[in-house]
Amino acid sequence: MADQSSEVAVLTAPPHVPPPITRSKSVKLIVNLEVIEKKMKISDGVDYTFWTFGGTVPGSFIRIREGDDVEFHLKNHPSSKMPHNIDLHAVTGQGGGAAASFTSPGHESVFSFKAINPGLYVYHCATAPVGMHIANGMYGLILVEPKKGLSKVDREYYVMQGDFYTKGKFGVQGYQPFDMSKAIDEKPTYVVFNGSTNSLTGDNAIKAKVGETVRLFVGNGGPNLVSSFHVIGEIFDKVYREGAMEYNTNIQTTLIPAGGSAIVEYKVEVPSNLVLVDHSIFRTFNKGSLGIMKVEGPENKEIFTGKTADNIYLPEGGAIQKVNDKEKITTAASVEDQLKLGKTVFTNSCAACHQPDGKGIAGAFPPLANADYFNADAKRAIDIVKNGKSGKITVNGAPYNGVMPALGLSDEDIANVLTYVSNNWGNKKRTFTKTEVSAVPVAKENSGGEH
Amino acid sequence: MKKNIYLALLIIILTQLSQAASLTDIKSKWLTVDNKEQSVSSTVGQSYTLIAMVYTGCAHACPMTISKIQRILKDFEAQGFKNVNVILASFDVKNDRPAKLKKYQLERKLDVNKWNFLSAASDDDARELSVALGISYKDLGDGDFSHSNAITLLGPRAEILASIDNLNASSDKLIEALKAHTAKAKVQ
Amino acid sequence: MKKLERLVLCIVLLSTLSAGASGLVSVSKGRLEAIWLSPMSVKIKNQTKTTRSFIQVKDFKLMAKAVTVKQFKEFLEKNSDWRKDKVSGLFTDANYLHGFENARDNSPVTNVSWFAARAYCKSQGLRLPTLNEWEYAAAASETLRDANKNELFLKRILEWYGEPQTEQIKEVGSIYKNLYGAYDMHGLIWEWVEDFNTTFVTGESREDSSFNKDMFCGAGSLASNDKENYAAFMRFAFRSSLKGKSSIWNLGFRCAQ
């Protein structure tokens, strides 16, 4: 102990991971983690009060080495309303440090532990009511690197799933408070990666280049759901199941328990947009658990020709989401309003498949940008958004054979989103009115709704 | 910027408060088993003291607290610390009056020169001492109390040196504090 | 004994002379369902029944508003022992009265320790309310004596719990007045109670139920949280994180009699 040198741990915000540990000796490692309660976006136009470790959801990534003596400083920001603590699954000792780190606002707790077992571990808050603290985003990952280190890869990222319970339904705008009833019933409003429906899409997509090997540190904070983690368009070369240090090879989907983790590695061979999903698939397309990894580089026709579609998992038939009109806060008064509101609808309900830039994903999701199929028939466009669409179509010369569910949008939302799409990306400029949308009948199989 | 000022302030305040917290600041008067009125800190005398809170109607945890203290005293002796006294203050203000505490002490054969039982003048005083020692307790109304267990080591000036809050904890933490304090005293 | 008599006399005088000035309101005795406690098992004629837990309180008086910065300044003038530069390390931590100089006169005093809050109340011939008294008074809305299960009332409480304290604390009397005439029992600050250390949440909340079973006989343990009691549950979790010397930015107090 006495001759041990001391270091301060580098912490990173998701999706980033601290650099691999290169030292060959154990040290006394000081970890400073600050608890901050703050309002952030859980989705476009939707605010939520998150309780965070380090200001982000999931909390800061902590990287330590097997054998390190960790001196852990948990600081609870003075602006906090609640006391908090931390239970690190990497800790051998009472409560994983929970009681030792119980800290009221404006105070700091210090405790020490020795990192005995290598692996990827979840940490979380364990203050009563525990479920609520976790549901508000209080979890993260701590990696205890084995003494010999992990194999060298080109890129490492940090992705963590969580389920959220808000008073308003998915996409209802404005500030949304926590809903204890839904949490007890285990009926989440949002299931997301890295604390927001947008954390890994659009400009926030994570990146890799063809030929690189990628390692994802994946966690699941819960509080309730188990994740069927899958990357559309890739096969995991290695999966360190449940964060253990032995791996299995060639895995399609790996189960990540609430309060558990996995390390997945794969070499990206061809350029594409890989889609990170919870393959309990309604969560992905209706609750937000979707992320993109953009792989750029030269094509390799031997591995992927671009001719056939990748396996896309879409729910068959209509995914009816009834939208309660009473919860609508805003009504468009002008075309500008329509464009603004339409953009929000697009981001929440369409961008996951058709992409934020409307270009779609070749072979899987048809483009809306400068799209002949879209521009040709306004009534058909309304009908597809209203009632869904399945079967073969041709868009800009390319064939598509997928399923789009009926989205359960209100007529007004449909008018707004179609107006938004029409006035962007080189489409035929046109406005859609609510009356026009209402005139298109609801298809029979969708009209039954919930009883 | 704001954060830096806050930090600087904190450091200034911290240095001001660096004198160890001492029970001499608790002015309340307690009664000994012989009905003598005295403060907790004057009971400490000139040597090291172990202090805990109990109630004699307790069937479970309090006898354990006493036997734990006896074990700690043995561990202290093995390290050469023989003159360590004990204070047991009761939070059962209504029932644990001096005469009852005296009887309890005799029954348990606890050396009157070493063990000091104290009876509080009011609930108010018992609550104050418990908070100062970080002990939680609750009167359940039927003669029983629920309470946490802490055994605290005091220095010769009644300053709080260390405490254990678990009856299964080893004496190491207290022995270390004892050694550190005597080493410091020698230097001065 | 004589001292005690004088004190009693003093309190009586104070209460008659300055009831208005110290701003006490009367809270009449009664019982309140303790929704934060789990139902108790009671054996009646060889049959085990579970009953809801209640607390009983006697008539008492409570300050209508939390003690303000101005009031505490006056206290410090007469009681210099409690000034930041003089106060005992046993009674306060480094946050004590942090930001006090810049706080508005009519805001509640915060960053005060339990010991300091108590000393203030004593100086006024008063005391801190007990946990039961506080919960009893705080359960009242504008119109109901027990609004603990009222959805709108709960919503208001939870909104404050869910909002980080990023702005200056509002002035006393600015939130709402309940049917006893007490202001801001929720929504302004957390408040000290005399016996805050009766709550057995160890921070390792998952351990507490067994802890209770081993150490205590028959006490209603803190209930597992459902949608009606988790606001109260959060209050108990907050209290259990406190030490007597803790000073927190959004924790103040009011006195009782």
C18 assigned to some structural domain: no
Is C3 part of a structural domain of the chain? no
H/E stretch holding B48 reads strand B48-54
Residue B3 has pLDDT above 60, yes or no: no
In a domain? residue B73: yes
CB C55 within 8 A of CB C135: yes
DSSP 3-state of B94: coil
C257 lies in a domain? no
Test C241 with A79 for CB contact under 8 angstroms.
no
Q: Stretch A122-138: mean pLDDT, rounded? A: 93
Task: Name the band, by pLDDT with cuts 50, 70 and 90, for residue A442.
Answer: confident
**pLDDT surpasses 60 at C220:** no
- Chain B: give the shortest CA distance to residue C210, in Å: 13
| Coil vs helix vs strand at C237 | helix
- Contact partners, residue A289, CB within 8 Å, separation at least 6: A161, A191, A192, A193, A227, A277, A278, A283
Question: How many cross-chain Cβ pairs, A to C, lie less than 8 Å apart?
Answer: 117
- In terms of phi and psi (left: phi > 0; alpha: psi -120 to 50; beta: otherwise), the region of C95 is alpha
What confidence tier does C134 reach under pLDDT thresholds 50, 70, 90?
very high
* Terminal CA-CA length for chain B: 40
Q: Which of A101-105, A160-164, A320-324 has the lowest mean pLDDT?
A: A320-324
The SS3 of residue C88 is coil
Backbone angles phi, psi at A217, to 5 degrees: -90, 110
Question: Quick check: is C14 in a domain?
Answer: no
Instruction: Count CB pairs under 8 A between chains B and C.
Output: 77
Average pLDDT over residues B92-108: 91
Residue of C nearest to B13 (CA): C94
Read off the pLDDT of residues B128-160 as tens digits, 9 standing for 90 and up: 999 999 888 888 777 778 788 889 999 998 999
Q: Cβ–Cβ of C90/B17 closer than 8 Å? A: no
Q: Which is higher by pLDDT, B43 or C108?
A: C108
Looking at the structure of chain C, the number of domains it has is 1
Q: Report the CATH number at residue B119.
A: 3.40.30.10
Q: Does C8 map to a domain? A: no
> Is the per-residue pLDDT at C22 higher than 60?
no
Q: What is the mean pLDDT of residues A98-107?
A: 90
| pTM of the complete model beyond 0.90 | no
Q: How many domains does chain B have?
A: 1
Decide if pLDDT at B2 tops 80: no
Of the candidates A176, A153, A154, A186, the one whose C-alpha atom is nearest the C-alpha of residue A42 is A176
Asked if the ipTM is above 0.85, the reply is no
For residues A382 and A432, the answer to whether their CB atoms sit within 8 Å is yes
Residue A174 pLDDT > 80, yes or no?
yes
Tell me what the mean pLDDT of segment B169-187 comes to.
86
* Residue C249, C-beta contacts closer than 8 angstroms, at least 6 positions apart: A78, A79, A105, A106, C95, C98, C99, C110, C111, C165, C169
Question: Cβ distance A140 to A12 under 8 Å?
Answer: no
The whole-chain average pLDDT of chain B stands at 84
Angular region, A402: left φ>0, alpha ψ -120 to 50, beta rest: beta
Q: Give A312's pLDDT tier (boundaries 50, 70, 90).
A: very low
Tell me, yes or no, whether B1 lies in a domain. Answer: no
Q: Residue by residue, what is the 3-state secondary structure of chain A?
A: CCCCCEEECCCECCCCCCCCCCCCCCCEEEEEEEEEEEEEEEECCEEEEEEEECCCCCCCEEEEECCCEEEEEEEECCCCCCCECCEECCCCCHHHHCHHHCECCCEEEEEEEECCCCEEEEEECCCCCHHHHHHCCCEEEEEEECCCCCCCCCEEEEEEEEEECECCCCCCCEECCECHHHHHHCCCCEEEECCCCCCCCHHHCEEEECCCEEEEEEEEEECCCCEEEEEECCCEEEEEHHHCCCCEEEECEEEECCCEEEEEEEECCCCEEEEEEECCCHHHHHCCCEEEEEEECCCCCCCCCCCCCCCCCCCCCCCCCCCCHHHCCCCCCCHHHHHHHHHHHHHHHHHHHHCCCCCCECCCECCCCCCHHHHHCHHHHHHHHHHCEEEEEEECCEEEEEEECCCCCCHHHHHHHHHHHHCCCCCCCCCCCHHHHHHCCCCHHHHCCCC
- Integer Cα distance of C172 and C176 in angstroms: 10
- Give per-residue pLDDT as tens, C61-116: 999 999 999 999 999 999 999 999 999 999 999 899 998 988 999 999 999 999 99
- pLDDT tens per residue, range A91-100: 988 788 888 8
Of the candidate ranges A120-134, A155-169, C212-226, the one whose mean pLDDT is the lowest = C212-226
Q: Is residue C15 part of a domain?
A: no
- Domain containing B143 equals 22-187
Q: Is residue B46 a part of any domain in this protein? A: yes
Q: Flag whether B14 is in a domain.
A: no
What residues of chain C lie within 8 A of the CB of B20, using their CB?
89
In sequence order, the β-bridge partners of residue B27 are none
Which chains share 3+ C-beta pairs under 8 angstroms with B?
Answer: C
**pLDDT tens readout for residues A386-432:** 888 888 899 998 888 877 877 778 888 899 999 999 999 989 888 99
Residue B7: inside a domain? no
Residue A230 CA to residue A238 CA, distance in Å, equals 13
Kindly state whether residue B10 falls inside one of the protein's structural domains. no
**Which CATH number fits the domain that encloses residue C72?**
3.90.1580
Range of the domain at C62: 23-252
Say if B34 falls within a structural domain.
Answer: yes
Chain A neighbours, 3+ Cβ pairs < 8 A: C
**Cα distance between residue A216 and residue A249, in whole Å:** 15
Q: What confidence category does residue A119 fall into, taking pLDDT thresholds of 50, 70 and 90? A: very high
More confident residue, A99 or B188: A99
Q: How many CB atoms sit inside 10 A of residue C59's CB? A: 9
Q: For residue C117, is it within any domain?
A: yes
pLDDT band at C151 (very low <50, low <70, confident <90, very high): confident
Chain B residues 11-50 with a CB less than 8 Å from chain C = 13-14, 16-23, 25-26
- Percentage of chain C exceeding pLDDT 70: 75
Give me the residue from C164, C201, C240 closest to A38, CB to CB: C164
* Position A48 confidence tier, pLDDT thresholds 50, 70, 90: very high
Name the band, by pLDDT with cuts 50, 70 and 90, for residue A290.
very high
The answer to the question of residue B4 being in a domain is no
Report chain C residues whose CB lies below 8 A from the CB of B19.
89
Evaluate whether residue C5 is within a structural domain.
Answer: no
| Residues of B whose CB is below 8 A from C89 | 17-22
pLDDT at residue A1 is higher than 70: no
User: What pLDDT was estimated at residue A40?
Assistant: 95
Tell whether omega for the bond before B98 is within 30 degrees of 0, i.e. cis: no
